Amino acid sequence: MTDDNTDEMIHLLVTGGAGFIGTNFIRHALSLRPDWFITNLDALTYAGNSANFNDLPQALASRHKFIHGDIRDASLLDQLFSEHEISAVVHFAAESHVDRSILGPEAFVETNITGTFRLLEASLKAWRVRGKPEGFRFLHVSTDEVYGSLGPQGYFTEQTPYEPSSPYSASKAASDHFVKAYFRTYGLPGIVTNSSNNFGPYQFPEKLIPLMILNIVEQKPLPVYGDGKNVRDWLYVLDHCSALIKVLEEGRPGETYNIGGGAERQNIDIVHLLCDLLDSRLGRSGEQSSQRLVTFVPDRPGHDRRYAIDCTKIKRELGWEPEHRFDQALEATVEWYLDHMQWVESIRSGEYRKWIERQYGIKEEVGN
Ligand code: NAD
Ligand code: DAU
C-alpha cells in the first residue's frame, strides 16, 4: 500500500463497514494501525448499523469517516476516489445471508455482482489516473461457500474448483471471478480471500450463533435445519480481521488466500453448547433447561453438508495463525450479546420482524 501524500496517512476505502465483519475490521484496524485513515462506504441495508462506531474513542473516531452510499453508485465512487488518494479498497459490502438469497436472489445479483463490478471499474480508473501505483490493493473479502459442499473427508484449498450451491454463493463466485479477471486483463492488483463461518460481536441475529443466543435468552424455539449434522469451520471474527490485515500488507496481487478457524463443529453441537453456556449463565436447569427448545425444521434447500478450510498457504506465506480458541471465543460472544441487548433491540426493526416471521413462521412481538 502507498501513503496518502497529503497527510502521510494510509487511506483505505472500506465498503460494507457498518456490517458484522466490516465493523470488527474497522475497529480492530484503527486501533492497530495509527497511520490508517478509513472511509467507510455503506448503504445501511437491514444488516448495517452506523451506530456501531458511536463509542469509538476520539483518537480512533478522528480517523474514521462514514459515508452513507451504495457501491453501485458509479458517480459517488468516482467522487470518493478523486477526493482521496485511496491506497487500498477492502470490499466487504454484500448481501450475505444464504436463506435470504433463496427467498429473493435479485438483491444478491445487484450488490454482489453489479456492485463489485462498479467498484472494480472505479478502482481501475483511479489506479490508472494515478499512474498505476504498485502498492495499490483491491482486497475482495469472499467466502468458502464458493467451493460448494464437502463430504466427511477433505478440505477446501485455493485450488478447489468453484461449485456454488446457493444464489448467495453463486453471486460471490461471480464477484471473485471479476476480481481475478481485472488482475489478469488490466493488471489491477486484486487479492481474493475465502473465509469460513465467522462469529463474534456485532453479527446480525439472522445467522446461526446470534439467532440461537437470542432465542435461548427469550425462550423461543431453536430452529435446527435438517438433521443438524451439517458442519461449519468456525472462525472468530477478530482472527479473520488480523488475517485480512496480513493479506493487505503482505499478500501477493492476483492470489487467493483461504482463511479458516480450524474449529469444525456440527450445527446441533453448537446449539447444545450455547444452551449449556446460557443455562449456566442464566441459572436455568432441570425442566427449565434450554435443550427443550431445540426444534428440528425442514432443511434449507441446497444446504451444503460440510465446509472445512485448508489454510496452509496463508500460514506458510504470511505467518498468520488464528489466536482465539473456539470455546473461549464462543463464551466471549455470548457475554457480548448479553451485555449488548440494547444494540440487539436497536437493530430489530420492523423489517427484521417480518423476516423472522417469513423464514420461521414465528410471530415476533414488538417490544420483545
Ligand atoms: P453483513 O451482511 O453483516 O454486512 C454487509 C454490509 O454491507 C452491511 O453493512 C450492508 O449495509 C452493506 N451493504 C449491503 N449492500 C450494499 C451496497 N449495495 N452498497 C454498500 N453497502 C452495502 O455481512 P458480513 O457477515 O459482515 O460479511 C461481510 C463480507 O464478508 C461479505 O462480502 C460476505 O460475503 C463475506 N463473508 C462473510 C462471512 C461470515 O461468516 N459472515 C464469511 C466469509 C465471507
Ligand atoms: O462459510 C461462510 C459463510 O458463512 C458466509 O459466506 C455467509 O455470509 C454466512 O452467512 C455463513 O453462511 P452459512 O449459511 O453457513 O451461515 P448460517 O449462520 O446461516 O448457518 C450456519 C449453519 O446453521 C448452516 O448449516 C445452516 C444452519 N442453520 C442456520 C440458521 C440461521 C440452522 O440450522 N438454523 C438456522 O436457523
| C-alpha to C-alpha distance for 238 and 24, rounded to whole angstroms | 7
User: Quick one: which ligand is closest to 306's CA?
Assistant: 2
Residues 6+ apart with CB under 8 A from 277: 330, 331, 334
- Domain hosting residue 181, numbered range: 10-198+235-263+305-325
pLDDT over threshold 50, residue 32: yes
The residue to which cell 472445512 is assigned: 308
Say if 269 falls within a structural domain.
no
Say if 311 falls within a structural domain.
yes
Say if 292 falls within a structural domain.
no
DSSP 8-class letter at 291: G
CATH for 117: 3.40.50.720
| pLDDT band (50, 70, 90) for residue 365 | low
145: Cβ below 6 Å to ligand 1? no
Say if 150 falls within a structural domain.
yes
195: Cβ below 6 Å to ligand 1? yes
Of 95, 144, 176, 264, catalytic: 144
Q: Does pTM surpass 0.75?
A: yes
39: Cβ below 6 Å to ligand 2? no
Dump pLDDT digits (tens) for 310-349.
Answer: 999 999 999 999 999 999 999 999 999 999 999 999 888 8
Say if 331 falls within a structural domain.
no
| C-alpha to C-alpha distance for 327 and 312, rounded to whole angstroms | 22
Say if 300 falls within a structural domain.
no
- 144: annotated active-site residue: yes
Question: What is the number of the ligand 1 atom nearest to the C-alpha of 47?
Answer: 8
Sign of CA dihedral 312, 318, 323, 324: negative
| pLDDT band (50, 70, 90) for residue 364 | low
**Cell numbers standing for residue 93:** 459490502
- Phi-psi region at 366: left, alpha or beta (left = phi > 0; alpha = psi -120 to 50): beta
Residues 6+ apart with CB under 8 A from 354: none
Dump pLDDT digits (tens) for 94-142.
Answer: 999 999 999 999 999 999 999 999 999 999 999 999 999 999 999 999 9
Could you give the number of structural domains in the chain? 1
Nearest partner of 258 among 362, 344, 116, 144, judged by Cα: 144
Dump pLDDT digits (tens) for 240-272.
Answer: 999 999 999 999 999 999 999 999 999 999 999
Q: How far is the CA of 156 from the centre of ligand 1 (A)?
A: 22
Note the pLDDT of residue 114: 98
H or E segment to which residue 259 belongs: strand 256-259
306: Cβ below 6 Å to ligand 2? no
One-letter amino acid for residue 134 of the chain: E
What's the full length of the chain, in residues?
A: 368
- End-to-end alpha carbon distance in the chain: 47
Say if 157 falls within a structural domain.
yes
Residues 6+ apart with CB under 8 A from 356: 206, 362, 364
**Cell numbers standing for residue 200:** 463474534
Nearest partner of 330 among 275, 259, 289, judged by Cα: 275
Say if 341 falls within a structural domain.
no
Dump pLDDT digits (tens) for 67-86.
Answer: 999 999 999 999 999 999 99
